[in-house]
Structures are given as structure tokens and as C-alpha cells.
Chains A and B, each alone.
Chain A
Amino acid sequence: MFYSIGRYILLLKAVFKKPEKFNIYFKEVMFQMNYIGMGSLGLISIISTFVGAVMTLQIAFQLNSDLIPKTIIGSVNRDSSILELSPTISALVLAGKIGSSISSEIGTMRVSEQIDALEIMGINAPGYLILPKLIGGITMVPVLVIIAMFLSITGGYIGGTLSGAVTGSDYILGITSDFNPYTITVALVKAFVFGFIITTVAAYQGFYVRGGALEVAQASTKAVVVSCITILAADYFVTQLLL
């Protein structure tokens, strides 16, 4: 384990070396931002909307008492969505979608000697292959999380009003009362950290693959598993640190 952590840190050190040509890296960054951001928008939108709707129904079920005002459903859904559900569920979904893609892409390049070809040309392979993905991850995951927050709260409204669990006016009153903007800051810090974890852990798994197709597939699976566990651990530490 310590060997892997050490090698991961050394890989990151190589990633942050000065790029050979900024304009080529810039094009790659734009491509990765589009791939990670636009490519995941549909999936994140669907998941967030449904999670928000289901959350509203469950909160309404658990807080079904005459002593508790219905507006609380909206405020609990808002805070849960912003602080935990949107960043963490989005990150776990992206670890599966983006992480496996990054790991298998870099792993395939490794076993087909394309990374060796880059190194022979005098190109810093970790920088060229990983840095644009890392920048794409740490910029687009927060954007996706902001969209997920909005859609989760909107999904809660749709689910709550369609099922009759809460009226539209109660829900709106709930989500607009006692709002603490700091929760957004916490969520964005989490999203930034998760974006870093998703891209670098997957890249690390792919970069050091040895063997063939089977090993690439195993690295891809390992990338998702390790990313998910790391995201959950980081979620705990960031929450403890910031709240």
C-alpha cells in the first residue's frame, strides 16, 4: 500500500511538470472538459432529478406528524441535496463513468506501447495524458454538482407535488427559508476534491498496467473501486473539516 501511495505521489509530481507546448495542452483540456462535462450531463441530470424526487417522498414519510410543518420537507431536501447527495452521488457515478474510461484509455495506451512512443519522442507522458484530464475533472465535476443540486431540488418539487406529499407552496417556502450559503461552499470543495480523486486514481491505475486486455479490464475495475472508497473517505474528512 505504501509503495502504491509513493508511486502515486511520484506520478503526480511528473504530471505537474511544465508542458512542452501550452496550445496543444489547451486543446486537450478543452476536449476533456467537453468529454467529462457534456458527456456526463445527461446521466447526472436523470440521477439527480430522481434522487431529489425520492428523497422528498421519504422525508415526507418519515416526518409525517401534525407537529412538524410541511415546509421542513423542502429545507431538509435542500440541505441534503447540497451537502451530501449531489456531490457524493454525482462523484460515485462519475467514478464509474469517467474513471473507468480514463483507466482503460491510458491502460490500453500502455499495453500497446503508445506511452513508450510518447516517452521516446521526449514527451512527458504523465503530463500530456493526465494533466488535461485532471483539469477537466476539477473544473467540470463542480459544474456538474451545481447542476445536480438544482435538479435534485427541482426533482423534489416535482416528486412531492405529483404525489401529494407536499404542496408546491410549502416546498418552495421550505427551500427558501433559513438558507445558509456556506453549504454551497462545502459542496464545491467536495466536488473539487472528488474531481481530483476520480481523474488521478483512474489515471494511476491505467498508467502502471502491465500485461494485456485482461489486466486493462482489471485496472479499470480497480480504478472504480479505489476511487469510490477514496471518495467516501474524503467525503468524511472534508465534512468534518468544514462543518
Chain B
Amino acid sequence: MIEIIDIRKSFDDHEVLSGISAKFEPGDNNLIIGGSGSGKTTLLKCMVGLHEPTSGSVIYDGRDFTKMNFEQRIEIRKEIGMLFQGSALFDSMTVQENIMFPLNMFTEQSFEEKMDRVNFCLDRVNLKDKNKLFPAELSGGMKKRVGIARAIAMNPKYLFCDEPNSGLDPKTSIVIDDLINEITEEYKITTIVVTHDMNSVMGIGEYILFLHNGKKYWDGTNKEIAHTDNKELNEFVFASKFMEAAKEKL
């Protein structure tokens, strides 16, 4: 479980996050939603240590990440997998080398063992025959899937996904959502997805944290979201006519 307590983050005098607290349970798809500039990605980066929160705590199963030194954080980071918005695959490495990279760095496995793990991860994301391709030769959806394969290579306890559907067509978006959902349930990992894709919210959102202007405005499940009277959340979720029409059926 990951717990965030009163997270605040300022850049110079501008406060981007204003005292956000939440609990993210393992085995659930935890979604952080909100409009552009609401602080979703900043919160995610504070949680994984890419940004230092101005105040507050990030607790990984009872371990306070914000109070740890560099070496202690490395131990936590070995338990984290992350899918980046732009996939962040290493350009100079093939798909196989990208996935094998954390295994090379942190395990003493033989080459055959590492290859087995790479093939397992690629098979899990339905990309078994793409080992030798470079990231530049992959489509956007394939890059995301390789990103997921790399993120799960080390059997993470925590999976973070930063806008996994951005730049993807609706069909591929659903494939990525389903994949994240399956991996979360299968390995009982704590998954946190930052998104503003409403298909993801309604499809896989078991716990949803809604941010607006850097503040926590609402949290609940995708079942509850259609019936909330929170004005800002309603404006965000039912901004499109399609979603407004769909609201009647929810």
C-alpha cells in the first residue's frame, strides 16, 4: 500500500500541490485524474522522488520515502516500475536490451535466465517477436507495451503509469488499460495511473482521486463518480456531450 500524507509542492512562490492525502491499495487500479495543470504529474513525480515535496510524506508499506537517503531510496526504487508518458525507452538499445537493462544492473542472473524473463515480459504484452527492434521502429502503442514490459521486468510491488493512453487511438488505449488492469490483479501490485482519459476512468478506475488546482476535490470509485454532486468533478468528467448522454445510463 502507498499512503501520501499532506503532500505540498511549490515551485518558487507558486504552490502546485496543496496538502494532498490519499491511500492507494494493492491489487487496485488507483487513478489520479484532473484537468491539465491540476498537479497530477507533479504528484506522481513527488511520489517516486523525481520531485522533492515541499512538505508531507510518501509511505511505501510503512516506509517513509521522503525521509530516506539516496541509498535507502534505491532499495525502494528497485520495487517500483514506471511507464512514462513518452515511454522513455533507451533509444540506443533494442527492445530486448531495454527490458534486460534493469536485470543486468541489479541481478546476478545468467544470460539465459534474463532472456527467459525478457521473453516472458514481452509475451505478457503480446510483443514476443519484437526483441531485436529499436524503439524508433515501433509504433506508439508498441512503445507503451515495451514500456510496460520493462516496468514489470523486476517484478515490481508498485507500478506508476503517467498518462499511458496519451497519443493512442481508442482501440489501443483499451488494450493498454486492459493490460495494466490484468497485471495489477495478477501480481497484486499497487498501481497508480495518472490520466485524463475518461474511458480509463470508467473502465478500470477502482479508486479515483480527483485533483483540481492542486487540491484534492474528490475521491471514490468509478461507480460513485456518476452520482456525485461535486461541481468541479462533474464539469471535468461530463465535459463532452457523449459523456453527458452516457450519464443517464450509468
| Chain B residues in 8 Å Cβ range of A21 | 104-105
The complex places the Cα of A122 from the Cα of B90 at a distance, in Å, of 15
Closest to B150 in A: A117
Known: A24-B105, A119-B50, A121-B105. A112 touches B86 (CB 8 A): yes
- Least Cβ distance of B86 to chain A in Å? 6
* A162 CB–B CB distance under 8 Å: no
- Other A-B contacts than A21-B104, A113-B86, A121-B102, 19 sampled, CB-CB below 8 A, are A20-B105, A24-B105, A108-B91, A109-B90, A113-B84, A113-B88, A114-B88, A114-B90, A117-B82, A119-B49, A120-B48, A120-B50, A120-B77, A120-B80, A121-B78, A121-B105, A121-B106, A122-B74, A122-B106
Chain B residues bordering chain A, tally (CB within 8 A): 24
Write out, one digit per residue, whether chain B residues 63-78 have a CB within 8 A of any chain A CB (1) or not (0).
Answer: 0000000000111011
Of the four ranges (under 10, 10 to 19, 20 to 34, 35 or more), the interface on chain A belongs to: 10 to 19
* A9 CB–B CB distance under 8 Å: no
Known: A122-B74, A122-B77. A117 touches B104 (CB 8 A): no
Q: Name the contact of B50 in the complex, choosing from A109, A116, A121 (C-beta under 8 A).
A: A116
Q: Name the contact of B91 in the complex, choosing from A24, A114, A120, A122 (C-beta under 8 A).
A: A114
* B213 CB–A CB distance under 8 Å: no
| Chain A residues in 8 Å Cβ range of B77 | 119-122
**Which B residues contact A (CB, under 8 angstroms)?**
48-50, 73-75, 77-78, 80, 82, 84-86, 88-91, 101-102, 104-106, 154, 160
Contacting pair B106 A116 (CB below 8 A)? no
The complex places the Cα of A20 from the Cα of B74 at a distance, in Å, of 11
Known: A116-B50, A116-B84, A117-B84. A123 touches B105 (CB 8 A): yes
| Chain A residues in 8 Å Cβ range of B154 | 121
- Least Cβ distance of B207 to chain A in Å? 22
Known: A119-B50, A120-B48. A112 touches B106 (CB 8 A): no
| Chain A residues in 8 Å Cβ range of B106 | 20, 121-122
Closest to B49 in A: A119
Complex A-B: 9 CB contacts under 8 Å: A112-B88, A114-B89, A114-B91, A116-B50, A119-B49, A121-B101, A121-B105, A121-B106, A122-B73
The complex places the Cα of A117 from the Cα of B78 at a distance, in Å, of 12
A residues 112-152 touching B (CB-CB < 8 Å):
112-114, 116-117, 119-123
The complex places the Cα of A122 from the Cα of B73 at a distance, in Å, of 8
Closest to B147 in A: A117
The complex places the Cα of A114 from the Cα of B90 at a distance, in Å, of 6
| Chain A residues in 8 Å Cβ range of B89 | 114
Contacting pair B105 A117 (CB below 8 A)? no
| Chain A residues in 8 Å Cβ range of B74 | 122
Q: Name the contact of B78 in the complex, choosing from A108, A112, A113, A122 (C-beta under 8 A).
A: A122
Among B85, B88, B102: residue with most chain A CB under 10 A = B88
Closest to A117 in B: B88
- Least Cβ distance of A72 to chain B in Å? 51
The complex places the Cα of A98 from the Cα of B143 at a distance, in Å, of 30
Closest to A114 in B: B88
The complex places the Cα of A117 from the Cα of B88 at a distance, in Å, of 6
Write out, one digit per residue, whether chain A residues 86-128 have a CB within 8 A of any chain B CB (1) or not (0).
Answer: 0000000000000000000000110011101101111100000
The complex places the Cα of A222 from the Cα of B14 at a distance, in Å, of 29
- Least Cβ distance of B2 to chain A in Å? 14
6 nearest A-B pairs in the assembled complex, by CB-CB distance: A122-B77, A113-B88, A117-B88, A122-B74, A120-B82, A113-B84
The complex places the Cα of A208 from the Cα of B105 at a distance, in Å, of 24
| Chain A residues in 8 Å Cβ range of B82 | 117, 120
The complex places the Cα of A122 from the Cα of B154 at a distance, in Å, of 12
Contacting pair B104 A24 (CB below 8 A)? yes
| Chain B residues in 8 Å Cβ range of A109 | 90
Contacting pair B105 A116 (CB below 8 A)? no
